[in-house]
Chains A and B, each alone.
Chain A
């Protein structure tokens, strides 16, 4: 009887590892940017081509940077949530319009609503690379000192918003 205990223990350990592995999402690659200052940029603002925006303009505020594009399907899924959040006015939301065409982006906002204080235009995706963007939509929570505190890869869900982003933002504002 005892001679079967060891293989059984090893087998159970293996099952445990595999079960844990099944719960992981391989598409979610942890960002090395969390806890680091948000990369600087200066980009033209969508619909106001003569204006420029830099993340340093938001110093002193806790804000969301949402990477979106009109060609992005899951952006449409999270969009109502952002529109609703913007109406509550708890967190300023800024958009990074990623590898998009200006006219398409404007039409998209007109159709689905514009939750953004403003959106900056990253037409060739270079700033996206600086932010480690690999799957739009992605959202960054940035604190008053300009440090990235949280990154959501993929669409924001109500659960992520309620359980992670909003509590963290509230704590950062204090």
Chain B
């Protein structure tokens, strides 16, 4: 009986529902819970996250687009709710910083390597030095 019900459920569940569920899930994973800040709305067990999930669900059902729903939350909680903050003056360092650091490190590497290549060779031993070496170490076989 249970199996029958399950099969009936699969066949008669409204079309597009699975798509909608997936959309809700994806949205909730893009949004941050403000209470447990390292969890997304989808993962957080905080009560506020539950309330916000309900908001997302209602707005999806009301036919709002993903952008509209994210905008709704950003207006209330700020860019912090987005895991992917928009590019603007206050977030420029966040976006450009890593690339700027990489560039600076690369430039430093190039400069250091060049300087090393252009450094004067160690001067060969002067005849006087050579005599001293030979005296101390004994005559050397030099290739």
Bound pair (A, B): yes
CB distance from A15 to the nearest CB of B (A): 17
Task: Say yes or no: is B22 at the interface (Cβ < 8 Å to chain A).
Answer: no
Of the residues B35, B47, B78, contact of A132 by C-beta under 8 Å:
B78
Q: Find chain A residues with CB under 8 A from B52 CB.
A: 129
B80 & A29 in contact (Cβ 8 Å cutoff): yes
Task: Say yes or no: is A30 at the interface (Cβ < 8 Å to chain B).
Answer: yes
Known: A99-B47, A129-B51. A27 touches B37 (CB 8 A): yes
Known: A27-B37, A29-B34, A134-B34. A125 touches B51 (CB 8 A): yes
Task: Say yes or no: is A33 at the interface (Cβ < 8 Å to chain B).
Answer: yes
For the complex, what is the distance from the CA of A135 to the CA of B47, rounded to whole Å?
A: 11
Task: Say yes or no: is A77 at the interface (Cβ < 8 Å to chain B).
Answer: no
Task: Say yes or no: is A108 at the interface (Cβ < 8 Å to chain B).
Answer: no
Contact with B along A99-143 (1 / 0, CB 8 A): 100000000000000000000000011101111101100000000
Count how many chain A residues have C-beta atoms less than 8 Å from C-beta atoms of the other chain. 18
Task: Say yes or no: is A31 at the interface (Cβ < 8 Å to chain B).
Answer: yes
Task: Say yes or no: is B88 at the interface (Cβ < 8 Å to chain A).
Answer: no
Task: Say yes or no: is B48 at the interface (Cβ < 8 Å to chain A).
Answer: yes
CB distance from A41 to the nearest CB of B (A): 13
Q: Find chain A residues with CB under 8 A from B80 CB.
A: 29
Of the residues A30, A99, A132, contact of B76 by C-beta under 8 Å:
A132
Task: Say yes or no: is A26 at the interface (Cβ < 8 Å to chain B).
Answer: yes
Task: Say yes or no: is A21 at the interface (Cβ < 8 Å to chain B).
Answer: no
The chain B residue with its CB closest to the CB of A125 is: B51
Chain B contact residues (Cβ within 8 angstroms of A): what range? 10 to 19
> Which chain B residues (29-54) contact chain A, with CB distance < 8 Å?
34-35, 37, 47-48, 51-52
A32 & B48 in contact (Cβ 8 Å cutoff): no
For the complex, what is the distance from the CA of A106 to the CA of B35, rounded to whole Å?
A: 27
For the complex, what is the distance from the CA of A126 to the CA of B54, rounded to whole Å?
A: 10
A32 & B37 in contact (Cβ 8 Å cutoff): no
Q: Find chain A residues with CB under 8 A from B75 CB.
A: 32
A31 & B51 in contact (Cβ 8 Å cutoff): no
For the complex, what is the distance from the CA of A31 to the CA of B79, rounded to whole Å?
A: 9
Give me the interface of A with B, judged by CB distance under 8 Å.
26-27, 29-33, 99, 124-126, 128-132, 134-135
8 cross-chain pairs, A with B, having the tightest CB-CB distances, nearest first: A134-B34, A132-B76, A32-B78, A29-B80, A132-B77, A125-B51, A134-B48, A29-B78
Q: A26-B37, A32-B77 are in contact. List 16 more A-B contacts (CB 8 A).
A: A27-B37, A29-B77, A29-B78, A32-B74, A32-B75, A32-B78, A33-B76, A99-B47, A125-B48, A125-B51, A126-B51, A129-B76, A132-B78, A134-B34, A134-B77, A135-B34
